[in-house]
Structure 1
Amino acid sequence: MIALQNRQASHSYFIEERYTAGIQLLGTEVKSLREGKASFNDAFCIIIEGEAWIKSLHIAPYTHGTANNHDPLRDRKLLLQKREINKIQSKLKEKGLTLIPLRIFFSDSQLVKVEIGLARGKKLADKRES
């Protein structure tokens, strides 16, 4: 079941490789995702000290949450194997490549997964073809 899809990604980027990663979330964030209350606007992924992070992913506060609700724009850790992180990090050193989230979905075992992609930006003429 797809909870959220980044429609702007295929319009603005050529996706070269795709990876599936787990994501570290709080309980109220999972509940908000089940309601479809999230936004990919300006979201991107980075690798810091051998760990993958997703930044600027807006997950709205849970409507039935208490005062202990989560911060909507906090950085969230992506769960990838070390060899995948090393492979992505070596490819990111190429000029023009970036790591972007493509979709968030629930796996068969109801775990939240993020599909991320190594992408190269399109020029204005390329966007007309999309």
Structure 2
Amino acid sequence: MATDKERIKKTVNIQNRRASYEYHFLNKYTAGIMLTGTEIKSVREGNVNLTDGFCAFLSGELWLNQVHIAKFTEGTYNNHEPTRARKLLLNKKELNQLRKKSEEQGTTIIPTRLFINDRGFAKVDIALAKGKKLFDKREDIKERDVKREMQRERF
């Protein structure tokens, strides 16, 4: 029984680290996510991949697409589809803001972080983002290297 408790993480904080490299974040929002039973169990184990994920509007609702939540190991025939679309829960005001801004040329909505809050609900941080050009990525790499060298010189 102790191994079952060890398998479930105390805090779940899954980040899309590639997103900050690929995009400039314009606005950030925190949204609830509708999950089935086996999905939330798999999320609590930390079996989630956000790198290919994106959000899209379908009939006035915001859906999270291409986020891979691995099948639950003890799931039976009731197990979920790993990359199915999942509905995001936001206020109507926030949905309208996102819809207007995402219709602009070159902007997209991407998931940046998935976590479980204090009450035990799964939440997703999403960002309205604009894609970076190659020279922007190079500047970010240079800044990171300079910061790393500064840290090394201090110690």
- Equivalent of 2:67 in 47, 52, 57: 57
Cα distance between partner residues in 1 of 2:127 and 2:108: 8
- Which among 84, 94, 97 is matched to residue 74 of structure 1? 84
Counterpart residue number, 1:123: 133
Deviations 1:70-107 (Å, cap 9, x if unpaired)?
A: 00011000001111111100111211110000000011
Structure 2 counterpart of 1:21, one-letter code? A
Runs of 4 or more off by more than 6 Å in structure 1? none
Gaps of 5+ in 2: 1-10, 141-155
* RMSD over equivalenced CA pairs, Å: 0.9
Greater per-residue helix proportion: 2
Q: TM-score, normalised by structure 1?
A: 0.96
1:3-60 Cα deviation digits (max 9, x unpaired) = 3100000000000100000000001101111111111132100111210000001000
Cα deviation for residue 129 of structure 1 reads: 2.4
Amino acid across the alignment from 1:65? G
What letter matches 1:22 in structure 2? Answer: G
**Equivalent residue, structure 1, for 2:14:** 4
Q: Tell me how many residue pairs correspond in the alignment.
A: 130
Q: Please name the residue that 1:18 is paired with.
A: 28
More relative contact order, 1 or 2 (CA 8 Å, 6+ apart): 1
- AA matched with 2:125: E
Structure 2 contact 12–46 (Cα < 8 Å) conserved: no
TM superposition score normalised by structure 2: 0.81
CA apart distance, 1:2:
3.8
Higher fraction of strand: 1
Q: CA offset at residue 65 of structure 1?
A: 1.0
Structure 1 gaps, min length 5: none
Question: Highest Rg: 1 or 2?
Answer: 2
Q: Is the 8 A contact 1:50 1:82 kept in 2?
A: no
Q: Structure 1 vs Structure 2: percent identity of aligned residues?
A: 52
Quick check: 2:15–2:113 contact (8 Å CA) kept in 1? yes
